[in-house]
Structure 1
Amino acid sequence: MSIAKADYIEGMAKGMAVLESFDTERQRLNATLAAQRAGITRAAARRHLLTLAHLGYLETDGSYFWLAPKVLRFSGSYLASARLPRVVQPTLDRLAAQTGESFSAVVLEGDAAVIVARSGAARMLAYGMHLGARLPAHATSTGRVLLAAKARSEFNAWLKGRELPRLTARTTVDAARFRELIEAVRQRDYCLSSEEHELGVLALAVPLRNMQGQTVAALNVVTTAQRPPRSLETVLLPLLLEAARELRALL
């Protein structure tokens, strides 16, 4: 969404940039690191860090800052009020109870596939598969499904100049090869990812579309690499496709 310059609050944007600077790579930041990550001056970063700490969103030892539990208010409010998680949760739980596998609903945000709902009854197999987790879109089945849903011009803009980090020995990092994979996902309308995000983990995803045909999320199942990949397509894929058809009228 674009807005008029007069409506843009630069201070708020900088404060959010500082807050978003905290991630799994850097759980604790000082003013210098926060400035580098947020793209602002050290002095500005220090003021934003102190303000966020004063408001209760950060904790500090006087030099370094880290996220406080209060930031969970944002995710909690989203999960409580957003329609998508509430609509898909019963389906995820049913699929998990039926198969014993782990199912999730995921949306795309920038370069990350973000889990907005997940089955509560199945075992957790992959690292970081929790609500709100941000997984690299290029290396996940859900991320590829959501990228394939973009218009080709939008996907080309997303990929242009982007580095695709190698997470395992099987991660696709070559841009030309990745483009071919996304085109294959468009043709098949599903994606099977084998140990590209985490060794020992397989994932299968299909798009979740609304009645207008727009892809609003991806539905996936995560299982162990001990399960033959062929069985994902013969046993689990039909379940995912049927669930996506059932959910379409509700999205």
Structure 2
Amino acid sequence: MTIAHADYIAGMAKGLAVLESFDTQRQRLNATLAAERAGLTRAAARRHLLTLAHLGYLETDGSWFWLAPKVLRFSGSYLATARLPRAVQPTLNRLAGLTGESFSAVVLEGDHVVIVARSGSALLAYGLHLGARLPAHATSTGRVLLAAKGRTEFSAWMKGRELPRLTGHTVADPRTFRALIDEVRRQDFCMASEEHELGVHALAVPLRDMDGRTIAALNVVTTRQRLEPRAAQKDLLPLLQEAARELRPLL
């Protein structure tokens, strides 16, 4: 969404940028690190950190800052009221009960995908918790959601972009990645094995609404054996595709 310059509150944007600087890789930040991550001066970052701590969104020992439980107010309100998590949760639970595997629903947010619903607690073994943000280029869900973009929009997303190599298996070459997205677009599903994190193997399909728009991705995280092409196409892929069809009227 674009807004008029007069309606843009720069201070709020900077404060949120500081808040978003905290993630699983950097759980504690000082003013210098927060400034680097948020693109601010150290003095500005320090003021935002102190303000956020004063408001209860951060905790601090005087030098280092970390997220406080109050930030969960935002995610809790979203999960309680947003349509997508509530619509898919029963299906995720049913699939997990049938297979013993871990399922999740994921949306695209800029360079990342965000888990908005998941089944059970098995995902926690991989650190893929509810609300986790993962690099879109290195995940099955991210590739499904990128493949749903028009070619012009996808080219704009790729322009000048570096694809970080997160493991030895990550596809980081832009030309190879473009070809991979073309393949995902043709087959309408994606397998990704150990590209985001070693030991994590995933299969994803798009979740579309009744107008045919892809609004999320449905995936399963499982063992390498279950993701062998024959096993996946026989067992897991049909389950995901059927679930996506059942969910379509609810999205």
TM-score grouping bracket, smaller chain normalisation = over 0.9
- 1:198 offset after TM fit, Å? 2.2
Determine the C-alpha separation between the residues in 2 that align with 1:225 and 1:125. Answer: 18
One-letter identity of the residue aligned with 1:9: I
Gaps of at least 5 residues in structure 2 are: none
- Greater helix fraction, Structure 1 or Structure 2: 2
Q: 1:96 to 1:109 in 2, by over 3 A?
A: same
| TM-score relative to the length of structure 1 | 0.96
Which residue in the other structure is 1:153 paired with?
Answer: 152
Which residue in the other structure is 2:116 paired with?
Answer: 116
| RMSD over equivalenced CA pairs, Å | 1.3
Determine the C-alpha separation between the residues in 2 that align with 1:65 and 1:228. Answer: 41
Which one is further off, 168-177 or 125-134?
A: 125-134
Gaps of at least 5 residues in structure 1 are: none
One-letter identity of the residue aligned with 1:163: E
Q: 1:232 to 1:155 in 2, by over 3 A?
A: same
- 1:25 offset after TM fit, Å? 2.1
Secondary structure at 1:245 match in 2: helix
Determine the C-alpha separation between the residues in 1 that align with 2:215 and 2:17. Answer: 26
Number of equivalent positions: 250
Secondary structure at 2:160 match in 1: coil
Which residue in the other structure is 1:179 paired with?
Answer: 178
Which residue in the other structure is 1:22 paired with?
Answer: 22
Which residue in the other structure is 1:92 paired with?
Answer: 92
Task: Determine if contact 2:126/2:200 at 8 Å carries over to the other structure.
Answer: no
Where does structure 1 differ by over 4 angstroms across 4 or more consecutive aligned residues?
none
Secondary structure at 2:29 match in 1: coil
Task: Determine if contact 1:208/1:215 at 8 Å carries over to the other structure.
Answer: yes
- 1:228 offset after TM fit, Å? 5.0
State, as a whole percentage, how many aligned pairs show the same letter. Answer: 78
Determine the C-alpha separation between the residues in 1 that align with 2:132 and 2:145. Answer: 16
Which residue in the other structure is 2:51 paired with?
Answer: 51
Q: 1:15 to 1:206 in 2, by over 3 A?
A: same
Secondary structure at 1:124 match in 2: helix
Determine the C-alpha separation between the residues in 1 that align with 2:32 and 2:201. Answer: 39
Which one is further off, 130-139 or 162-171?
A: 162-171
One-letter identity of the residue aligned with 2:68: A
Secondary structure at 1:56 match in 2: coil
Task: Determine if contact 1:201/1:222 at 8 Å carries over to the other structure.
Answer: yes
- 1:64 offset after TM fit, Å? 1.3
Determine the C-alpha separation between the residues in 1 that align with 2:36 and 2:114. Answer: 24
One-letter identity of the residue aligned with 2:152: S
Determine the C-alpha separation between the residues in 2 that align with 1:25 and 1:222. Answer: 21
Determine the C-alpha separation between the residues in 2 that align with 1:65 and 1:125. Answer: 24
Determine the C-alpha separation between the residues in 2 that align with 1:218 and 1:98. Answer: 20
Task: Determine if contact 1:125/1:224 at 8 Å carries over to the other structure.
Answer: no
One-letter identity of the residue aligned with 2:169: R
| TM-score relative to the length of structure 2 | 0.96
Which one is further off, 105-114 or 36-45?
A: 36-45
Task: Determine if contact 1:195/1:201 at 8 Å carries over to the other structure.
Answer: yes
User: Once the two structures are superposed, what CA deviation does each residue of 1:15-73 show, in whole Å capped at 9, x if it has no partner?
Assistant: 10111111122211111221121112222111111110000000111111111111111
- 1:227 offset after TM fit, Å? 2.9
Q: How does 1:1-251 map to 2 (within 5 A)?
A: 1-120=1-120, 123-124=122-123, 127-230=126-229, 231-251=231-251
One-letter identity of the residue aligned with 1:26: R
